């Protein structure tokens, strides 16, 4: 059994919520020194453990207690009851600019934040160029960080946090403000740390990121631990419980959304324009999403999540990323996703269609694993992995 890196045992944390305060001597006398307040339990009797080398996710709605739990793990907050044990060198990035002083320059904050995280000045000088290069803020390193954009703040803070060589890394949703390129670098770094046997605990609202990165997930609900287990299973249970109108469709698949617009059906269309129940690797095909708008919807976004039958994410395209956003849709219609060739290798796949607003935050309809289909072997002949690059090989002798 793997050695334990993190233990939380019957942890509870409360805050005092003041409805009225005595802001003056007169108020204190008139109310008899009483203050109107109540206890709010942000975390209540939570227990879990994380083995060394595991990536562990904390999910839940806003106010569910996951960020409070993370702050308890870092010792920023002291729980009322319970025991927390974290083994090894800890580094954390919990909120935008945490550990930074806005009036100091980026250079000065690197040394300040690095010292807070336990690095000596000598070690920080040795790693300084690496930290700055990774963050990509070299041209602004001597500017006060109060002038930094939110993305620059996060990149520099994250770069310092990972360069202290932590054995346990705690990260909150803050990375969501980084651009796509930086998020890719972060994911690569997480993968490297995991391969090195480091432990990562991640709080995120991005279920795609959690499923891609995490071995196990804990679902927080109103301060309590509702479920803990494998990433895919817990995420499906969590997403099936939120989003407005929670229900199952006629096939028993979880479905939710506010309902102003709906995905009515998903079809596979072969190269001849005929409906099919299977695709062929390397051959053109179309994925057709049928919709019905029950009222006019401005700038709706269509997307889908594609995964293997075992839950391994494969792709998640959307119309916003490809600049295909209508001004408004009303009534029925369909959206075609045209594939010049199917790059999937033989196997069974599941497709989850989604209809959202332009921000992709409001969900009109989400139909989990609505379509299951098979991909047959095509001309490529490959049989490892889930996708093919369909390469053209050339062997050139230099003799």
User: 392: Cβ–Cβ under 8 A, 6 or more apart, which residues?
Assistant: none
Asked if the 4-239 domain carries CATH number 3.40.50.880, the reply is no
353 three-class SS: strand
0.85 surpassed by pTM: no
Residue 244 has pLDDT above 90, yes or no: no
Ranges of each domain in the chain: 4-239, 247-376
> What pLDDT, on the 0 to 100 scale, is given for residue 363?
86
Mean per-residue pLDDT, 67-73? 93
Task: Give the burial string for 86-108 (b: 16+ CB within 10 Å, else e).
Answer: beeebbbbbeebbbbeeebbbbb
* Mean pLDDT score of the chain: 86
The token duo for 196 is: 């090195």
Weakest-pLDDT range from 21-30, 110-119, 125-134: 21-30
Interatomic CA distance for residues 40 and 222, integer angstroms: 10
CATH of domain 247-376: 2.70.50.60
> What pLDDT, on the 0 to 100 scale, is given for residue 204?
85
398 three-class SS: coil
Mean per-residue pLDDT, 361-375? 90
Residue 340 has pLDDT above 90, yes or no: yes
* 379 vs 277, residue with greater confidence: 277
pLDDT in tens, 152-188: 888 898 888 888 888 999 988 766 656 667 777 787 8
User: 334: Cβ–Cβ under 8 A, 6 or more apart, which residues?
Assistant: 288, 289, 290, 291
User: What one-character DSSP code corresponds to residue 110?
Assistant: H
247-376 shares the fold of 4-239: no
Residue 128 has pLDDT above 70, yes or no: yes
Count of H-run helices and E-run strands, the chain = 8, 21
* 391 vs 26, residue with greater confidence: 391
């Amino acid at each position: 059994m793997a050695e334990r890196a993190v233990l939380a045992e019957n942890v509870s944390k409360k805050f005092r919520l003041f409805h009225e305060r005595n802001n003056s001597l007169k108020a204190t006398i008139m109310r008899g020194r009483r203050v109107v307040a109540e206890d709010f339990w942000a975390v209540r009797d939570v227990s879990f453990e994380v083995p060394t080398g595991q990536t562990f996710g904390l999910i839940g709605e806003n106010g569910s207690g996951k960020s409070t739990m993370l702050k308890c793990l870092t010792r920023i907050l002291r729980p009322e009851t319970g025991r927390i044990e974290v083994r090894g060198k800890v580094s954390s990035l919990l909120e935008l600019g945490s550990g930074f002083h806005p009036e100091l320059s980026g250079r000065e904050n690197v040394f300040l934040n690095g010292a807070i995280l336990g690095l000596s000045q000598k070690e920080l000088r040795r790693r300084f160029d690496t930290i700055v290069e990774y963050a990509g803020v070299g041209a602004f390193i001597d500017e006060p960080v109060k002038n930094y954009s939110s993305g620059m703040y996060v990149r520099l803070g994250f770069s310092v946090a990972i360069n202290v060589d932590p054995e346990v890394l705690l990260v909150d949703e803050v990375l969501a403000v980084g651009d796509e390129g930086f998020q890719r670098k972060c994911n690569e770094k997480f993968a490297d740390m995991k391969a090195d046997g480091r432990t990562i605990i991640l709080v995120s609202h991005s279920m795609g990121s959690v499923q891609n990165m995490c071995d196990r997930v804990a679902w927080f609900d109103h301060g309590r631990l509702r479920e803990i287990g494998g990433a895919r299973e817990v995420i499906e249970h969590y997403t099936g419980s939120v989003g407005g109108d929670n229900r199952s469709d006629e096939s028993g698949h979880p479905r939710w959304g506010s309902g102003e617009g709906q995905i009515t059906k998903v079809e596979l269309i072969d190269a001849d324009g005929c409906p099919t129940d299977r695709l062929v690797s390397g051959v053109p095909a179309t994925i057709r999403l049928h919709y019905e708008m029950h009222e006019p919807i401005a700038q709706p976004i269509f997307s889908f999540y594609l995964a293997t039958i075992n839950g391994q994410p494969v792709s998640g395209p959307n119309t916003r990323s490809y600049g295909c956003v209508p001004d408004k849709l009303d009534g029925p219609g369909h959206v075609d996703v045209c594939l010049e060739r199917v790059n999937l290798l033989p196997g069974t796949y599941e497709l989850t269609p989604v209809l959202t607003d332009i921000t992709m935050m409001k969900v009109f309809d989400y139909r989990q694993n609505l379509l299951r289909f098979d991909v047959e072997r095509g001309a490529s002949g490959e049989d490892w992995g889930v996708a093919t690059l369909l390469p053209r090989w050339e062997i050139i002798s230099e003799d």
